[in-house]
Amino acid sequence: MGEFRGRGPCGFGRNNIEVSSDYIANVTAVAKADADVQALLNGGYNITRVIPQIKMTVDGNGNVALKATNATLLLENGTTDRAFVKVDLASSKVTEIVTFTRTVITKP
């Protein structure tokens, strides 16, 4: 599946966050257990990116803790079909799937 990297503190931004193979395995296992995700994978989609969604908590003393509580998977099927799969790691379930299809019409 190649190298996965999230981007920035909320999955976006300039700084790359290295994502461990254990985290990737946990997220993809939850996603693959979902029937709708499995149907996409069986239909030719591939998981191409795991984007951690990081929660930052500041306690009363000002201590900061970060935890990747959720993740978004990017699935691709060729060059025109994409799907975003939101995974809630606390409840070990897929919470949303959004699919996109791009149609390209080339004209002379």
Domains of the chain (ranges, CATH numbers): 5-101 (3.10.450.40)
Question: What is the pTM (predicted TM-score) of this model?
Answer: 0.76
Residues 6 or more apart whose Cβ sits within 8 Å of residue 92: 30, 33
DSSP state of 3: -
Can you give the pLDDT of all 108 residues of the chain as single tens digits?
Answer: 444 444 444 444 445 778 899 999 999 999 999 999 999 999 999 999 999 998 899 999 999 998 998 999 999 998 889 999 999 999 999 999 999 988 888 999
CA–CA dist 85, 98 (Å, integer) = 7
pLDDT score for 7? 45
pLDDT score for 15? 52
pLDDT score for 8? 44
